[in-house]
Amino acid sequence: MSTATLTPSPTRAATLGGRPLALLRSVLATWRRLPLKAKIGIAILGFFILVAIFGPALAPYNPNATSTQAVPEAPNIHHLFGTDSSGGDILSQMLTGTRSTVIVGLVTGIIATTLSVLVGIAAGYLGGYADEGLSLFSNVVLVLPALPLLIVILAYEPHAGSLATIIALSAVGWPWGARVIRAQTMSLRNRDFVLAAREVGEPAWRIIVFELMPNQIGLIAASFVGTVLYAILTSVALAFLGLTDLSIWSLGVMLYWAQSGSAVELGAWWWYLFPGMAVAFLGMSLVLINFGLDELSNPRLRSSRSLRKLGRRNWRPADPTPVILDYAELNR
Amino acid sequence: MNFIARRLAFYAVAVWAAVSINFMIPRLMPGNAIDSVLGKFQNLTPAVVKSLEAEFGFHHQGSIFSQYIQYWNDVIHFNLGVSTSQYPTHVSTIIGQTLPWTLALVGVATVLSFTIGTLLGIVAGWRRGGWLDRVMPGLTLLQAMPYFFLALLMIYLFAIKLKWLPYGQGYQLGLTEGFNLPFISSAITHSILPAVTIIATSIGGWMLQMRNVMLTTISEDYILVAQAKGVSTRRVMFTYGARNAILPNIAGFALSLGFVVAGALVMEIVFSYPGIGLTLYNAVTSNDYPLTQGIFLVISLAVLTASLLADVAYAFADPRARSRSAF
């Protein structure tokens, strides 16, 4: 995730809560401004959300159905994505299982991002000892290796369901966002419009909700997308290790059965390729959305051909307002 | 070196947190770990149970505070209890056997990935819009793929279909471990696929960050001035541009290490690589709680040490970090 910041003018953000038509228009306007990468990403993500909603109803077979055969069947006209070794239809399992993977990703994203915003804004706005304590806490959580920690926690309740996964993932998934949001809050805290609001006597919660948060919507969105990606990849990895409720279909559980059924050794590539590709596409859509958000906020990242060639060397027009990225400031 | 002192204090807190979490998890989780362990041994007299409890490292006697002190004492002496799945081997012995495999594989692959990724990022940022810049999103998308899925694909393609490289285990079974040519060459060929998997999935991140900061850096006036003065392109690119742009990458190295290690752990399971990830997996599936916890502790300490080293490197690379006095 880049350290880029997105700061629409405070007045525009404030009108967002207005009439529904205006809201729709502003949504459309935002969509039009989005870079192509973000549009592609949102389209793919939208497809997966549709599958999550309607998939289980569309599944041609019962995903748990078994047949008497003992070998996985390659993709054919009856089973478009083939079957597993007990005759279960891969396509039906994917249509059923996408829901739980998407839900774990989105719900963890919402919970963890809420935590990030709370901790990040509190630390950045309050400053002083509160900031030091919260920053220390989030940096410690950040630096501890998350997946081994999750494995150790879930080892005690190996077959707990999605809820346990969501709670555990949220508990370790918030610090990165908190860090970025804190840095942005610190830079916003001393801007004129915040100082003015404080001078007028607005209470702290009002300054936070109506002055600070609207001005980091882009950052919060990027943090949300990044957290959803983390949650999906990690929950799939945990399920692959068998650390989830294996009776509920998800893309990770499918990969677990493929691995434990030695799909690779049997040459049953369809068994793990299709669910794996689904996870990869889901992840790709989130990466693309975040690329798009980055480009939206930092025009310099757009691939353009603004360079000039002069004497076989690349020249760039000098930038009148260089943004000096003091990473150490963010890293304090 | 105020910066380093500050970071040392931070890592002291982090180590304390890791050890304390490890102490608390078995006591907070529902279900009694000791019962599931003792379930494996039938017809035990209470005295034997007590000695087993002590031996496995379950110090449930006494107040929680004295247990905590005892736990610290054990950790400092690297007494992590006895593995229940490989009874009566000590947890520290098992970790000592498996950790070198992981350190060698993950360490080398991570350093290679960081170096190559950063170099490619410098070039991609410098030649913005060039071919490297345009294929980069493709590389970054590999990150969106679960490590273990890429590992499955690699095994299928290179080990099963093409039969170019071996997979599974760390070396050809039957060879004697040690400094002899067949063993070392076998260990190297067995580590190629896992290493390539780690590099392929992590290189995009280093590259993207380096490229993005490079873009910001080279639009600074001093780059233009250097070019106008007639400084050679290579010098402007590396000494003027990359020298400043690399700082976030070094700082990021410490932070993303946890992610890299996590991916590598799962990757080991797919390759049956005899490292600490596979051992952790086996420990979890056989309810070997002392081993699980010991491994978590060691992984945490390893990641914290590596992060500390990255921070020290950062202090050397960035004079601002050294002079910054405020916490």
Residue B61 buriedness (CB in 10 A; 0-12 / 13-18 / 19+): exposed
Q: Which residues, including other chains, have CB under 8 Å from residue A205's CB and lie 6 or more apart?
A: none
Q: Are A135 and A181 in contact (CB under 8 A)?
A: no
C-alpha radius of gyration, chain B, whole number: 24
Q: Is the pLDDT of residue A78 over 80?
A: no
Residue-level length of chain B: 327
What ipTM was reported for this prediction? 0.79
Q: Mean pLDDT across the stretch A64-69? A: 71
At residue A311, the 3 state secondary structure works out as: coil
In angstroms, the CA A107 to CA A170 distance is 9
Phi, psi for residue A165 in degrees, rounded to 5: -60, -45
Q: Which two tokens stand for residue B272?
A: 């049956």
Q: Which two tokens stand for residue B203?
A: 């290189």
Q: Is the pLDDT of residue A294 over 80?
A: no
**Using CB atoms, which residue from B146, B262, B324 is nearest to A236?**
B146
Q: Mean pLDDT across the stretch A20-46? A: 83
Partners of residue A310 on adjacent β-strands: A313
Amino acid at B310: A
Q: What is the pLDDT of residue A109?
A: 92
Q: Name which of B155, B139, B168 is nearest B272 in CA terms.
A: B168
Q: Give pairs for A300-309: CB < 8 Å, separation 24+.
A: A300/B215, A300/B216, A300/B219, A301/A2, A301/A4, A301/B212, A301/B215, A302/A35, A303/B128, A303/B129, A303/B133, A303/B134, A304/B128, A304/B129, A305/B129, A306/B128, A307/B128, A307/B129
Q: Determine what percent of chain B is predicted with pLDDT higher than 70.
A: 82
B327 vs A132: CB contact, 8 Å cut-off? Answer: yes
Q: Which helix (H) or strand (E) holds B135?
A: helix B131-141
Q: What is the pLDDT of residue A137?
A: 87
- Shortest CA gap B129–chain A (Å): 5
In angstroms, the CA B92 to CA B8 distance is 26
Q: Dihedral of the CA atoms B21, B3, B206, B109 (nearest 10)?
A: -60
Q: Is the pLDDT of residue B4 over 80?
A: no
**Using CB atoms, which residue from A264, A283, A313 is nearest to B227?**
A313
Q: Is the pLDDT of residue B64 over 80?
A: no
- Which residue is closest to B266 within chain A, CA to CA? A237
In angstroms, the CA A318 to CA A320 distance is 6
Q: Dihedral of the CA atoms A7, A11, A13, A19 (nearest 10)?
A: -160
Q: Is the pLDDT of residue A153 over 50?
A: yes
Q: How far is CA A297 from CA A9, A27, A167, A177, in A?
A: 13, 17, 32, 17
In angstroms, the CA A324 to CA B243 distance is 14
Question: Quick check: bond before A148 cis, omega within 30?
Answer: no
Write out pLDDT tens, residues B264-321.
788 888 888 888 888 888 888 887 778 888 888 888 888 888 888 888 888 787 777 6
pTM for this entry: 0.81
Q: Determine what percent of chain A is predicted with pLDDT higher than 70.
A: 83
* Residue in A135, A154, A156 to test binding to B, most B beta-carbons within 10 Å: A156
Beta strands A308-310 and A313-315, pairing class: antiparallel
Question: Quick check: bond before B88 cis, omega within 30?
Answer: yes
Q: Which two tokens stand for residue B150?
A: 């890429």
A7 pLDDT band (50/70/90 cuts)? very low
Q: Name which of B293, B277, B285, B147 is nearest A246 in CA terms.
A: B285
B160 vs A233: CB contact, 8 Å cut-off? Answer: no
**CA atoms within a 13 Å half-sphere pointing along the CA-CB vector of A15:** 11
**Using CB atoms, which residue from B141, B218, B248 is nearest to A287?**
B141
Q: What is the pLDDT of residue A321?
A: 40
Q: Mean pLDDT across the stretch A90-102? A: 88
In angstroms, the CA A180 to CA A267 distance is 45
B149 vs A229: CB contact, 8 Å cut-off? Answer: no
B254 pLDDT band (50/70/90 cuts)? confident
Q: Are B257 and B307 in contact (CB under 8 A)?
A: yes
Q: What is the mean pLDDT of chain A?
A: 78
Write out pLDDT tens, residues A247-276.
888 888 888 888 888 777 777 888 888 888
- Shortest CA gap A69–chain B (Å): 24
**Which of the 8 DSSP states describes residue A207?**
I
A-B interface: how many C-beta pairs under 8 angstroms?
Answer: 209
B238 pLDDT band (50/70/90 cuts)? confident
Q: Is the pLDDT of residue A8 over 80?
A: no
Of A49-58, A113-122, A295-304, B133-142, minimum mean pLDDT range: A295-304
- Which residue is closest to B305 within chain A, CA to CA? A143
Q: Which residues, including other chains, have CB under 8 Å from residue A157's CB and lie 6 or more apart?
A: A164, B29, B30, B31
Q: What is the mean pLDDT of chain B?
A: 78
**Using CB atoms, which residue from A3, A155, A237 is nearest to B148?**
A237
Of A11-25, A235-249, B3-17, minimum mean pLDDT range: A11-25
Q: Is the pLDDT of residue A156 over 70?
A: yes
Q: Is the pLDDT of residue A206 over 90?
A: no
C-alpha radius of gyration, chain A, whole number: 23
Partners of residue A308 on adjacent β-strands: A315
- Shortest CA gap B61–chain A (Å): 21
A6 pLDDT band (50/70/90 cuts)? very low
Q: Is the pLDDT of residue B327 over 50?
A: no
- Shortest CA gap A301–chain B (Å): 6
- Shortest CA gap B279–chain A (Å): 12
Q: Are B154 and B130 in contact (CB under 8 A)?
A: no
Longest dimension (CA), chain B: 86
A304 vs B280: CB contact, 8 Å cut-off? Answer: no
**Using CB atoms, which residue from A145, A234, A282 is nearest to B261?**
A145
A68 pLDDT band (50/70/90 cuts)? low
Q: Mean pLDDT across the stretch B60-81? A: 77
A112 pLDDT band (50/70/90 cuts)? very high
Q: Which residues of B touch A316 (CB under 8 A)?
A: 218-219, 223-224
In angstroms, the CA A131 to CA B85 distance is 45
- Shortest CA gap A76–chain B (Å): 21
Amino acid at B2: N
Q: Which residues of B touch A307 (CB under 8 A)?
A: 128-129
Q: Mean pLDDT across the stretch B176-200? A: 78
Measured at the alpha carbon of residue A45, what is the angle toward residues A40 and A49, in degrees to the nearest 5? 150
Of A50-64, A88-102, B11-25, B127-141, minimum mean pLDDT range: B127-141
Q: What is the pLDDT of residue B239?
A: 83
- Which residue is closest to A271 within chain B, CA to CA? B152
- Which residue is closest to B263 within chain A, CA to CA? A147
Q: Which residues, including other chains, have CB under 8 Å from residue B108's CB and lie 6 or more apart?
A: B195
Q: What is the pLDDT of residue B326?
A: 37
B52 pLDDT band (50/70/90 cuts)? low
* Residue in B8, B206, B216 to test binding to A, most A beta-carbons within 10 Å: B216
Q: Is the pLDDT of residue B251 over 70?
A: yes
Of B62-66, B70-74, B97-101, B305-309, minimum mean pLDDT range: B62-66
